[in-house]
Amino acid sequence: MSPAPATRGAVRRVLGEGRWAWSALVVLVGALISAPVVAVVVDGVLGAGDTQLPRNVGDMVFTSLWLLLGVGCGTFVLGAGLAWLVSAFDFPCRRLLSWALVLPLAMPAYILGFVFLSTFDVAGPVQSLLRDWFGADVWVPDVRSLGGAVIVMSLTLYPYVYLLARAAMVEQSATTYEAARTLGATRGRAFLRVLLPLARPSLAAGLALVMMETLTDFATVQYFNVHTVSVGVYLVWKGSFDLHSATQIAALVLVFAVALLVGERLLRGGARFTQRGHRGVGPQRERLRGFKAALASAAGLGVLGVAFVFPVLQLVVWALGASTDPLDPRLGDYLANSVTLALVVAAVCVTVATLIGHAQRLGGGRLVRSAAQLTTFGYAVPGAVVGIGVLLVMDWLDRGLVAAGVEGGTGLLVTGSVLGILIAQVVRFVAPAHQAIDASFTKMPPSITGSALSLGASPRRVLTRVHLPQVRSGILVATVLVVIDVVKELPLVLLLRPFGFTTVSVWVYQLASENFWEKAALPALLIVMLALVPVVVLVRGRDPRRRVEP
């Protein structure tokens, strides 16, 4: 073969088959969406040494490490342990627990956090009771501490590990587990030596998700006076509005995130998820009796109660208690803010994700594939990094405009408006939209696209007449997921909101920070109920991100 065609082939594999406009669009979107993260990296590297890091940055790093370690251990024990319990044993309430243990996924940590504090802090019922029984100087551990934060975050985040571990145990290892048992291993040994190692890739993925969420949080941990690196970004930016100092710490957060991803890869050890077409039945469950059965039920129900049932009941009680007061008129405004924001972000995310899916189907080549990957990047990057990145990009744009002779640049377009929140949320939530819509595209055989094109349809007609009608369910799922994610989202809004702009989540956080539990209860319940939607869909066995076409 002559070298010329070879080179041409290589170039084409990168650039695709020549739908230039579509490919360019995806590349542009990919560049825009990854710009904030790139900005943090660039500014972090260029500015290293120029700006003074806050003196307590060392403490922040250690606090972050301890928090990550604590929450990692907590979710591992709860998630993997409960998954083993419901898949290897039979006991009263097992069926109920096997799905209900996912419910805490709907409870944002900033809501469980304040319910927890109200119950266990100095003024709460538990400590009052202890004082009544043992006198005023009874020793109780400090609730507003790293330990408290670890407990609350473990209770809200363990379902990630639980879900993936349970799936891995049910799908992969029925026969292997049985083989180990016939070779004389006890159940405990079979769990430790066979089930757990086989579930390792899933556990690694679950733990990575948990730690990413932990790293991103800078609201809940502040209830507990825990200052992580993400809190550092928030405090520096809100305290001094010194973008470059904030960037330095944001870069530090990014280092943590990268380390987590690398850690996940190492923990997986090259193992890949084995996705089997059929649904396994899992190991034959051993029936527990008597004391053991009671203990197993109590463990499961206890976690469910502490993480979900009691907090929800407490919120309901509070909300009812406050129902005699006239409804705060601000609730309507804030709700409208949340919903508007969510709908706009969802519309943008879904449009972007659909266009990317379409362009990939037209044969975009490696460049489009990479750009599509870039757009999902934001989800794995902590909110503080995305937020500061958006500010940086806008700052550059400002200076660019001023340099180009535009008076005042973009003005207060970003810091003074909702635009910053909007962009940041889009950057963060294109990934779940992409995942849902891409799943729909993947289910559509490539021959459908090929047929439509060879019947003379232009790419645009293929999009509107063939692709859109068939990925409709994916678009619906993506919209719901993004709307809920945006309404729940707290850190980004806190970081970027202009003066006077409040959403429901921010309001809950503010009320809770000022110990107005009862007032916070109703909006908190609204958020929990909304967040239950995807969880219930998931529990009903129809993971919204992989729904089967009717």
Partner 1 sequence: MSEADALRLAAVTKSYGRTLAADALDLVVPEGEVVAVIGPSGCGKSTLLRLVAGLERPDAGSIEIAGEVVADARGWRHPEQRRVGLVFQDHALFPHLDVRRNVGFGLRTLSRPERRARVETMLHRVHLADLAARRPHELSGGEQQRVALARALAPDPAVVLLDEPFSSLDEHLRQRVRSEIMATVRDAGTTAVVVTHDQTEALSVADRVVVMRAGRIEQVGTPQEVFERPASRFVASFMGDADYLPATVEGDRVSCEIGVVPVRPSLTAGTSYDVVLRPHDVTVEADPAGAAEVVHVEYHGAFVLHAVRLASGARVRSWQAHSVRHPVGTRVSVGLVSGPGPVLLPVEETVVR
Q: Contact with partner 1 (CB under 8 A): which of 188, 332, 411, 450?
A: 450
Could you count the other beta carbons within 10 Å of the beta carbon of residue 52? 11
Dihedral Cα 246, 250, 253, 254, nearest 10 deg: -170
Minimum distance, C-beta of residue 461 to partner 1, in the bound complex (Å): 8
Determine the interface stretch with partner 1 among 24-32, 51-59, 193-201, 461-469 (rule: CB under 8 A). 461-469
Of the two residues 142 and 549, which places its CB atom closer to partner 1 in the complex?
Answer: 549
Applying CB under 8 A, among 184, 290, 445, 541 the residue interacting with partner 1 is 445
Closest distance between partner 1 and the C-beta of residue 356, in Å? 20
Q: How far is the CB of 10 from partner 1 (least distance, A)?
A: 9
H or E stretch including 90? Answer: strand 89-90
CB of 115 to partner 1, least distance (A): 47
Half-sphere exposure of residue 304, counting CA atoms within 13 Å on the CB side? 17
9 near partner 1, judged by CB under 8 A = yes
Minimum separation from the CB atom of position 477 to partner 1 (A): 17
Tell me which of 148, 363, 387, 420 binds partner 1, using CB under 8 A. Answer: 363
Which residues on adjacent β-strands are paired with residue 287?
A: 90
Determine contact, residues 12/357, Cβ cutoff 8 Å. no
CA distance linking residue 431 with residue 205, whole number of Å: 16
> Of the ranges 120-128, 297-305, 391-399, 442-450, which one interacts with partner 1 (CB under 8 A)?
442-450
Contact range with partner 1 by CB under 8 A, out of 159-167, 331-339, 400-408, 459-467: 459-467
Q: How far apart, in Å, are the Cα atoms of 327 and each of 340, 514, 523? A: 21, 19, 11
Contact 444/472 with Cβ under 8 angstroms?
Answer: no
For residue 463, the 8-state DSSP code is I
What is the signed CA dihedral for 382, 386, 387, 391, rounded to 10 degrees? 150
Stretch that binds partner 1, among 112-120, 129-137, 462-470, 518-526 (CB under 8 A): 462-470
CA nearest neighbour of 212 among 242, 168, 253, 177: 253
Binding region for partner 1 (CB under 8 A) out of 37-45, 122-130, 157-165, 450-458: 450-458
In terms of CB distance, is 1 or 403 closer to partner 1? 1
Does residue 321 belong to the site contacting partner 1 (CB under 8 A)?
no
Sign of the CA dihedral 152, 306, 486, 143?
negative
Between CA 86 and CA 78 the distance in angstroms is 12
State the nearest-atom distance from the C-beta of 372 to partner 1, in Å.
20
Q: 290, 454, 500, 541: which one contacts partner 1 (CB under 8 A)? A: 454
- Pick one of 2, 182, 275, 324: the residue that binds partner 1 (CB under 8 A): 2
CA distance 156 to 75: 9
**By the rule CB under 8 A, 447 interacts with partner 1:** yes
Q: Map residue 89 onto helix, strand or coil.
A: strand
Does position 456 interact with partner 1 (CB under 8 A)? The reply is: yes
Please name which of 354, 539, 373, 527 lies closest in space to residue 433, comparing C-alpha atoms. Answer: 354
Residues that bind partner 1 (CB under 8 A): 1-2, 4-6, 8-9, 12, 17-19, 363, 445, 447-448, 450-459, 461, 465-466, 469-470, 549
